[in-house]
Structure 1
Amino acid sequence: MQDLFGMVGALKRPKLLVSAARFGVEEYHRDSHLPRILRTAGVPRTGTALLRLLEIEEVQDSKRRGHAADYSVARHVDVLIAIMGEAQLLRASARPTAVA
């Protein structure tokens, strides 16, 4: 898990993309968003989804940097939103729970 957090933390993207994603993360619902973003029928576990999202984001960023005609800012932001949402879920599940 620590490696996943490191990978997410290592992302360096333009402030405008990150800001747009931050606005959307509050509305992120993995059950409806992940199948569309990952283009799958089901919803994978959080760690698996995060790895796949990081791969997709890398492709999107390469297209952005290369000024590719098929680059979509909306898709890139969607993927960043999902990365942020999945990282939050993974972080929450990794926290130890207090026993009363």
Structure 2
Amino acid sequence: MTKTLNDLNRPGLLVQAAAHGTGQYERRRDLRRMLRVAIPGTARAALEKLLPIEAELEKRRRERATTYSFARHVDILAALLAEARSFRGA
């Protein structure tokens, strides 16, 4: 899991926006909205759900797909950063 997180390489502006978004991140509210399923019990479980969503958004971004949403990508990355911090025990 940590290797997967460390392997993410995204544009600086996208990461900066996501890092800023972690300050407003509220796990219960945001995961329910983002995942549209029951809130995962652990940070690891949340990361396992968020990573494929982020990968699909990154694919759309690179393809310049009309279905790509910068705002959604920032939201998902902010959740990933916050959950990763919790997972690592920081």
- Fold conserved between structures, TM > 0.5: yes
Structure number with higher helix proportion: 2
Letter in 2 for 1:50: L
User: In structure 2, how many angstroms separate the alpha carbons of the residues matched to 1:11 and 1:39?
Assistant: 24
1:98 match: none
Structure 2 alignment gaps of length 5 or more:
none
- The structure that has the greater radius of gyration is 1
1:11-90 matches, cutoff 5 A: 11-40=8-37, 42-44=38-40, 45-90=42-87
Please, what TM-score do these two structures have when normalized by structure 2?
Answer: 0.94
User: In structure 1, how many angstroms separate the alpha carbons of the residues matched to 2:62 and 2:36?
Assistant: 23
Please, what TM-score do these two structures have when normalized by structure 1?
Answer: 0.85
The number of equivalent residue pairs is 89
Aligned-residue Cα RMSD (Å) equals 1.1
Structure 1 segments (4+ residues) deviating >3 Å: none
* Alpha-carbon offset, residue 39 of structure 1: 1.4
Percent identity over the alignment is: 42
Where 2:88 maps in the other structure, the secondary structure is helix
Where 1:60 maps in the other structure, the secondary structure is helix
* Alpha-carbon offset, residue 17 of structure 1: 0.2
2:88 match: 91
Letter in 2 for 1:18: V
* Alpha-carbon offset, residue 61 of structure 1: 0.3
User: In structure 1, how many angstroms separate the alpha carbons of the residues matched to 2:64 and 2:24?
Assistant: 29
